[in-house]
Structure 1
Amino acid sequence: MDRPFSTAFSTVVEQTVPYDPHPTPDPGPVRVGLVGAGPWARTMHARMLAAGPETALAAVWARRPEAARETAEPYGAVVAASFEELLDRCEAVAFAVPPSVQAELAVRAARAGVPMLLEKPLGPDLDAARRVADAVSEYGVVTQLVLTKRYHPATREFLRRAGEFEVIGARSCYLHGAFRAGELATPWRLEQGALLDLGPHLLDLLDMAVGPIVSVRGSGDPRRWSELTCEHADGAVSQASLSGSVGLDRARTRVELYGPSGELTYDTAELDHEECWPVLRREFAAAVRSGAAGPLDAARGLRLQELIAMAAGGV
């Protein structure tokens, strides 16, 4: 005998959707505070964090209150009167400031137990970077690096393929003309040059695609052109050219791997960098909620800064 429709329906519901007497409330987007109100903070950080749905821009603090207001107002974020107030208003903090400022404030955020979205380089020099990484380790806070290209699907596919490719030599470059003029020609970039600013991106790709770098020799003037020779753990050798002072219409990042089976190439010329931001935002929010950092954390930032110091003759 057939059961009434209502009885059959309730049976299906009971079997497929178990009753939870204590449902976990949705925590909503991660409330992120932004430190900085310069061009990179406005064009990338604020816009990305406010876009959601995984994050929300909760507050902005900068040493110039008027700049902080201009950055916060389009997204309805609060302007914090101090760094401490910013930490009180957010669950996590993102940095878009010069390396020397980040290195100082990141240690304070770590002591407060606040997860951090960190820019590269971690600090202006290796000692400052170590202080950041040590504080992160001591206080057990979640961190993530804004190594932009690593969040693009094409980069991840290249690195996956590189893991299956025998490399005996590699050539690479990261070149643009942003240091010549414009908003990104900031004092620290003009003083330190491409090695500190662009070097982390390219060294990260070579370290992952070719194999762990064991030594780096650098030559040239970082404010004009730097040339790096890297030796890798398996005996492969790679070259890296860096400049922010050449007359190019758009930035050029290219990695060429060579081995017995031929060539494997990565080129950002046709990549849409807007594809990076949703991935970065999603993975940062997931790390904050889970309390577990991914591989692109402060320890990775310290590793890259060690390589930069090696290239500069600092170790």
Structure 2
Amino acid sequence: MRFGLVGTGYWARQTHGPGIQASGQELVGVWGRDPAKTAQVAQALGVRALGSYAELLDAVDAVTYAVPPDVQAPLALDAARAGKHLLLDKPVALDAAVARELRDAARASGSRAVVFFTARYTAETRSWLAELASIGGWRGSWTEWVVANQRPDSPYKDSPWRQREGALWDIGPHLLATLTAALGPVRSVVAVAGVGDAVHLTLVHDSGAVSTATLALWGPPAAYTWGMRVWGESGVSPAPPAATTADAALATAADELAATASDGVEHQLGLEFGVAVVELLVDAAAQLARGQCAAP
């Protein structure tokens, strides 16, 4: 499958570009809004710098996106309407109506999609989730993800969309993708605002399990933590630490997109799931905006 890369930032340079090249697919070229940056990334990857998005769409079978979600959505909509397959970053959009429009356009054209929730494409997470499924009897989970993106060595410290949207929209999708696989679909969410961009979530699953999570993207560096535990009749099972690099996970996602396009079936992490994640996040964001259950 011939891929085009949209984006020239850190995630494009370090994950999407190398990931496609590490897969069984072909990276044809790259396009970004800044021609100089596009040329630099293209040279580093050894591919063509494409002069326009239209030129990219004409040259490829599929597009991989490493741009902010509000930039990704309208571009992906054009690609879907053109029948191109989509490797989307999470979240697929910041608006539920836009996410549904993208899903419907892909469905109408026969375009297939996968959404890149990083951990869901790693061997260690898949092994853990398979173990949870084989044991059963899980009743809930606890997650504490406190990240300090403002630290000098963070590649995301100057990311405008992350500064604007915070933890809910950046790491919230990862939370939902993993917990849905561990405990079943999420039926409802209650969101409580904390200090800064911190958000505290209670998630009720269709299985009856209840998950709680504390998320902060711009938290105190001294409080940096990243942990998830599932509990139930067999005890407590912690999620494994990351062992797979992001570009290797992206390679898996690219190969699975090619397979699902060939088979003509919806991927379990396709746009149907991507829309469900956006709908839950929109609900949580609306609660925070209204000050519902807001922290004093």
**Normalized against structure 2, the TM-score is what?**
0.88
Distance in 1 between residues matched to 2:277 and 2:43, nearest whole Å: 35
Matches within 5 A, 1:224-303: 224-248=197-221, 252-268=225-241, 271-274=243-246, 275-303=248-276
Contact 1:193 1:222 in 2 (8 A): no
Distance in 2 between residues matched to 1:134 and 1:222, nearest whole Å: 38
Offset of residue 232 of structure 1: 1.4
> Which residue of structure 2 lines up, in the alignment, with residue 3 of structure 1?
none
Matches within 5 A, 1:11-26: none
Select 2:49's aligned residue among 76, 79, 91: 79
Deviations 1:202-233 (CA, angstroms, capped at 9, x unpaired): 01111221122111001115853111001112
Please tell me whether residue 147 in structure 1 is matched to residue 113 in structure 2. no
> Which residue of structure 2 lines up, in the alignment, with residue 17 of structure 1?
none
Distance in 2 between residues matched to 1:249 and 1:229, nearest whole Å: 25
Aligned length: 284
Residue type of the alignment partner of 2:139: I
Select 2:66's aligned residue among 96, 112, 118: 96
Distance in 1 between residues matched to 2:155 and 2:177, nearest whole Å: 25
Residue type of the alignment partner of 2:136: F
Q: Calculate the aligned-residue CA RMSD, in Å.
A: 2.2
Matches within 5 A, 1:34-183: 34-52=5-23, 54-163=24-133, 164-180=135-151, 182-183=154-155
Residue type of the alignment partner of 1:93: V
Distance in 2 between residues matched to 1:157 and 1:68, nearest whole Å: 37
Residue type of the alignment partner of 2:240: D
Which one has a bigger Cα radius of gyration?
Answer: 1
Distance in 2 between residues matched to 1:295 and 1:222, nearest whole Å: 35
Please tell me whether residue 204 in structure 1 is matched to residue 207 in structure 2. no
Is the partner of 1:59 in helix, strand or coil?
A: strand
Offset of residue 55 of structure 1: 1.5
Runs of 4+ in 1 over 6 A off after TM superposition: none
Identity across matched positions, percent: 34
Distance in 1 between residues matched to 2:224 and 2:111, nearest whole Å: 34
Distance in 2 between residues matched to 1:204 and 1:179, nearest whole Å: 25
Offset of residue 248 of structure 1: 4.5
Q: Which runs of 5+ in 1 are unaligned?
A: 1-29
Distance in 2 between residues matched to 1:222 and 1:59, nearest whole Å: 42
Distance in 1 between residues matched to 2:233 and 2:155, nearest whole Å: 44
Distance in 1 between residues matched to 2:16 and 2:99, nearest whole Å: 21
Residue type of the alignment partner of 2:95: D
Q: Which has the higher contact order (CA 8 A, sep 6+)?
A: 2
Offset of residue 264 of structure 1: 1.6
Which 10-residue stretch deviates more, 170-179 or 96-105? 170-179
> Which residue of structure 2 lines up, in the alignment, with residue 217 of structure 1?
190
Residue type of the alignment partner of 1:177: A
